Amino acid sequence: MLTGAALLLGLVMLLHAEIPNRFGALGSLVETFLPWFGIFVPVLAAGALWRRSLSAVIALVLPVTVWLSLFGGLLVDKSEPGGDLTVATHNVGADNPDPAGTARDLIGSGVDVLALEEITEEDRVVYETELAGAYPYHTVQGTVGLWSTLPLSDTRPVDIATDYGPLADTKPADVQLAGNRALRTTVATDQGPLVVYVAHLGSVRLTPRAGFWTDSRDRNAQALGQVLAADRSERVMLLGDLNGSLDDRALAGITSRLDSAQEEAGDGFGFSWPAKFPVARIDQILVRGVEPTGSWVLPATGSDHLPVAAGISW
């Protein structure tokens, strides 16, 4: 039994892309929490030693090898000193009880470019007021915004076919959210223009009836992937809450065109949600044409997400 469990664990991690999504998006659910499958290795190892099962110990070579091949690189600190620009992204939370305090916390991070998602109409004025001193340039398009110490130009909303669908009633009744949840702008740097996208993909939910409900998120991801594919700019950055890990096949249209700052220059998994006990990295900083020099998670604010930051270099 232990031998079979060890082999099954290894095969699930090795062949996760083959798990079908037709039934409750099971494949995406597994991929969202794929790093946590490694927890079962020491459990099975303890059982194998207790039962003195040599075959189970040998079988554990498969899941250990697969897990290390998938995530071993994240256990090494790949950050480098220096960098030309620091950026951060934060889903500030529609029901954040202290948006002013959140803004002050983010100013304290000292980043040059700051993206915010899930900005309500009520809280927009708070963020604009609190961040104005540190970030003289900003834009808000619907529920997403970008604040910068450097000038912005060519700013426009990006249509990613966003809607909450049947999850619309999961937001608090007194929360007003605009329809647009993505933007594109250009940051003027000393090294030339940097195209920055800010996006908040649709929500996902785990429900008894629908399983892992990802329809809205998947539509948004596909649309955003098409936008990125059509953008021929040399230097591109995507900041935002993608409501999915980079292992999730639904984000393949995005991840095939941009590199993850966390995977390239981070230290650890960089889990960002939920803030009280993070189990998944769903807030992402992705780049093309620039090199990440570091990636880290910032301290908690009043949101249910943790802010994530990165340094980049030319």
pLDDT in tens, 159-197: 997 444 433 334 444 444 447 999 999 999 999 999 999
- The per-residue pLDDT for range 40-81, each reduced to its tens digit, is 999 999 999 999 999 999 999 999 999 999 999 999 999 998
Model confidence band, residue 258 (pLDDT cutoffs 50, 70, 90): very high
Inform me whether the pLDDT recorded for 215 exceeds 60.
yes
pLDDT digits (tens, 9 = 90+) for 2-16: 999 999 999 999 999
What is the model's pLDDT at position 171?
45
Residue 154 pLDDT grade (very low, low, confident, very high; cuts 50, 70, 90):
very high
The arithmetic mean of pLDDT across residues 277-291, rounded, is 98
For the segment 127-155, the average pLDDT, to the nearest whole number, is: 98
CA nearest to 211, candidates 36, 30, 23, 32: 23
Give the chain's mean pLDDT: 93
DSSP codes joined into one string, 223-264: HHHHHHHH---SSEEEEEE-SS-TT-GGGHHHHTTSEEHHHH
Q: What pLDDT sits at residue 207?
A: 86
Q: Which of 150, 133, 144, 147 is nearest to 194 (CA)?
A: 150
- The arithmetic mean of pLDDT across residues 286-305, rounded, is 98
pLDDT of residue 177: 46
Q: How does pLDDT run across 24-35, given as a tens digit for each residue?
A: 999 999 999 999
278-299: average pLDDT: 98
Percent of all residues in the chain with a pLDDT value above 90, rounded to a whole number: 89
149-153, 209-213, 228-232: least confident range:
209-213
Q: What pLDDT, on a 0 to 100 scale, did the predictor assign at position 81?
A: 87
| Beta bridge pairs of residue 272 | none
- The string of pLDDT tens digits covering residues 103-128 is 999 999 999 999 999 999 999 999 99
At 62, list the tokens.
């498969």
The two three-digit tokens of residue 105, written as one number: 């916390």
